[in-house]
Homo-oligomer: A and B are copies of this chain.
Amino acid sequence: VWSGDDAAVVRVPLSSGSSPGQAPLLLLAADTVVAGVDADLSLTTLADFGWKAMAVNLSDIAAMGGRPDHALVSVVGLGPDELEDLYEGIVEAAAEFGCDVVGGDLSAGSEVVVSVAVTGWVDGEPVLRSGARPGDRIWVTGPLGAAAAGLRLLRQAGPVPHAWGQADQALVSAHARPRPAVAEGVIARLAGATAMIDVSDGLAADLDQLARRSGVGFELANVPVADGAAIDEALAGGDDYVLVFTTPGPVDVVRPFLAAGLPAPNMIGECVADPRLRRVAGKTLTVAGWEHSL
């Protein structure tokens, strides 16, 4: 019943006589953010919270190689003024990534909960988590750890508004306004990605998911760490919303990214046949990060 992937894939029921290729596949995803659980509203704003609620959903569509289309937003526990602040971030993210908010619901409640459901479309086959094969190369669409480092900086600075230097501001923004890799997901699919997932729980945990679903292990070497972030934050930090994807060895993925005006993805390692193997720079990686961090 549950799709178990980033988004469910649905065929459009065409009238008889139509060929299935005439309609794209419909993608459906839903993610909920809870204040105090998914964001600390003493460190970031309600507008940031609204942005994040949209971003995590858009990222689910991106991770299938789809383009987001519409969103439904249900909000619990906010008064009119707070709602306006929240919507500011929702609408900004929606506009930035071409996803119209077309409905939703408002409810009373004692806790702030924002549930978003998104639709997307994919022409051709979506990229699932399960398609990686031994020998496939593993790529990420950008450096990791920025969101976790930004959260660390915000916690150190405390709730007082703070003037950040440029490098720290980039980390704080990565936490407060994560950017779903929508264009990158489409290009990765077109370039021949065999499996893909977005980094929401951390590279180690999300790559573990992809490996489990694909029945492969992996060996990583060159994980790109965001400037100012620690390697632990890059491996286990989460909330980066870059995409990890795999491709068969000979496939050139750098060129299509550059041709689309996107930064070249980073090759970080390879899938291996032993489904239990999870290694980075020769050390065992657990879903919580490095071996030593347990």
Question: Does A1 touch B at the CB level, under 8 Å?
Answer: yes
Question: Does A72 touch B at the CB level, under 8 Å?
Answer: yes
Contacts of A109 in B (CB 8 A): 34, 37, 111, 113
Question: Does A26 touch B at the CB level, under 8 Å?
Answer: yes
**Also in contact, A38 and B72, with CB within 8 A (given A18-B18, A23-B15, A115-B32):** no
Contacts of A123 in B (CB 8 A): 15
Interface of A is mostly: strand
**Are A105 and B30 neighbours in the complex by a CB distance under 8 Å?**
yes
**Are B22 and A22 neighbours in the complex by a CB distance under 8 Å?**
yes
Question: Does A102 touch B at the CB level, under 8 Å?
Answer: yes
Complex CA–CA separation, A23 to B121 (angstroms): 14
User: Which of A22, A38, A121 has the most chain B CB atoms inside 10 A of its CB?
Assistant: A22
Interface residues of A (CB under 8 A from B): 1-3, 7-8, 10, 12-15, 17-18, 21-24, 26, 28-34, 37-38, 69-70, 72-74, 76-77, 91, 100-105, 107-111, 113, 115, 117, 119, 121, 123
Residue contacts A-B, CB under 8 angstroms, 17 given: A2-B102, A10-B102, A13-B24, A13-B121, A22-B23, A23-B23, A28-B70, A28-B119, A29-B72, A30-B72, A32-B76, A32-B113, A34-B107, A37-B108, A38-B107, A77-B111, A107-B113
A2-B102, A10-B119 are known; give 14 further A-B pairs, CB within 8 A: A7-B103, A8-B102, A10-B102, A12-B12, A15-B123, A18-B22, A22-B23, A28-B103, A30-B104, A74-B117, A111-B111, A113-B115, A115-B115, A115-B117
